[in-house]
Structure formats: C-alpha cells, structure tokens
Amino acid sequence: MNEPVYASPSAGLPPQTALHTGRAVFTEAYAVIPHGVMRDIVTSFLPHWNDTRAWVIARPLSGFAETFSQYIVEVLPGGGSDRPEPNPEAEGVLFVVAGQASLTIDGQDHMLTPGGYAFLPPTCDWSLRNKSSEPARFHWIRKRYESVDGIAMPTAFVSNENDEPIRWMAGTNDRWGTTRFVDPTDLRHDMHVNIVTLEPGAVIPFEETHVMEHGLYVLEGKAVYRLNRDWVEVEAGDFMWLRAFCPQACYAGPGRFRYLLYKDVNRHMKLGL
Ligand SMILES: NC(=O)N[C@H](N)C(=O)O
C-alpha cells in the first residue's frame, strides 16, 4: 500500500497582490473548509495546552441539533497538556496526521505516529506531550457522551489505521471500503470515527441521505463530492461538515481518495416538545 499523503494546513497569508480566489462554502446543509483557508490567523488557543494551537473546523452551532466539534491541533516540540479535556461528559478521538504525540491514558504510555488513533471515553485520565523535535499534528473530535441505562461506558483504546483492515463494501469489487476502529454493533459507542477509502475512479453511487451528521477530513487524493444540491471539488487537507440528512455522493480520482469520517450512531433521537 502507498504511504498516505496527509496535507498540512497552510501558514502565513497570501500576498496583498493576490487576487481573491477561494473554495470555502457555508450553506444551510453543509460547509467546505478548504486547506488553503486554514492559515495562521484563524487558529485558536486552548486552556491548559501550552505551545499548541488549533484550527476549529466543526462545532455545534444551533445549541441542540449538532453533535460534535473537531479540531486540527498542532503541538510544538515540548508542548502539550496535562489537563486536556475540561468537560467530564466529553468523549474524544485523536487521529495523528503528522509527527509524534506521546499520549498517557490512565497511567499507560502510548506513542502515536501518523495513522495513530486513540479513543478517550469520558472521565478517563489522559495527557499528551510532544517529546519530539518536530511539530505534531492531530485531529481531536469531541462529543458529549450519551450514556444509556444498562449499557456500560466504552473503554479507552489505542490503534493505528495500518493495523486495521479495510472492509470493502459488498458489490464494489474492493473499490469502496471502510476502516473501522469500533464494532458497529457495540452499542456502548455513540460515535464512530472511521476511514473511508475509494480506489481511483470509484464512486458512492447514490445520494446517501441519512440522519447521521458528518465531519469529513480528506486524508489523501481528490474527488468531486455531492453535497445537497451541489458538486464540489475537494482534495487532501480539505474539510466538509454535513448536517443530518444532507444528501451525499462521490466520484473519486484520478488517484486513491481517503477521508476521516465522523458520524453519530446508536442512540434514539431527542423527543420534540
Ligand atoms: N459520506 C460517507 O462516506 N458516508 C458513509 N458511507 C457513512 O455514512 O458511513
């Protein structure tokens, strides 16, 4: 398998002489944040993290309808946090795209390298440091965990995408597949963060329209992606945010196309008034 290509957020600013061009879109059903707009001046700093900045690429907007937030976090050598998560109800997934992160979960040390993945249930005691000489960059996806009476809390685990198989969809001749880190029938989990792979020229051949909300971060390649009524071109480093029920489909190519995919799963809907 080829090494994946993880794009970096851009630094600095375009020159003052540059014509304004851009692919950023924000609509009622979806947003596209292209890598070219993830620049230094749009970063955030986080409480109790040192030598660290973050691009917040998804957050709950309306206060009740959206489920998750997603950050691209960049930790400089020597940086990190011993008090990373302020909310005891939050669960998290970390996915490393560059550099090395030293993660400690409940006293156990783990080294996360590109492709490294960690699931962090609420109240687990974790800390993260960059002990290397290069910046570390990772996605941090956070959600309020919805506990259910009679179902145990999921436990923490660490993995790497290279240690997990791609499960190809039936009927696609091994052209459209998903790398899963959690068994879909494990109802302790109320969110999945998977990796979707489409081989060159492969398609999502119908407009998936479903209740799950999505964050899609393109890890590798290019595609034309259907979002609601529009077709948008995306490439490695771009992020797409999809509200529940946003129709979605895809033509991948010319190379392999892969993305990190968040979805909320396995819980009843909140009741209306
Ligand atoms: N846009 C997507 O990749 N959606 C997935 N098939 C999914 O909902 O799991």
Q: What is the pLDDT of residues 25-80, one digit of tens each?
A: 999 999 999 998 999 999 999 999 999 999 999 999 987 789 999 999 999 999 99
Ligand 1 contact via 196 beta carbon (within 6 Å): yes
Q: How far apart are CA 68 and CA 56, in angstroms?
A: 11
Cis peptide before 121 (omega within 30 of 0): no
Q: How far is the CA of 113 from the centre of ligand 1 (A)?
A: 25
What's the CA-to-centroid distance between 213 and ligand 1, angstroms?
10
The 10s digit of each residue's pLDDT in 130-184 is 999 999 999 999 999 999 999 999 999 999 999 999 999 999 999 999 999 999 9
Q: Taking 60 as the threshold, does the pLDDT of residue 2 lie above it?
A: no
Mean pLDDT over 111-130 rounds to 97
pLDDT surpasses 60 at 1 = no
Q: What is the pTM of this model?
A: 0.96
By three-state DSSP, how is residue 40 classified? helix
Any atom of ligand 1 within 6 Å of the Cβ of 197: no
Average pLDDT, the chain: 95
The CATH homologous superfamily to which domain 25-264 belongs is Jelly Rolls (2.60.120.10)
Q: Taking 70 as the threshold, does the pLDDT of residue 5 lie above it? A: no
Q: Is 248 in the pocket of ligand 1 (CB under 6 A)?
A: yes
Contacts of 56 (CB under 8 A, 6+ apart): 44, 69, 70, 71
Nearest CA to ligand 1 atom 1: 248
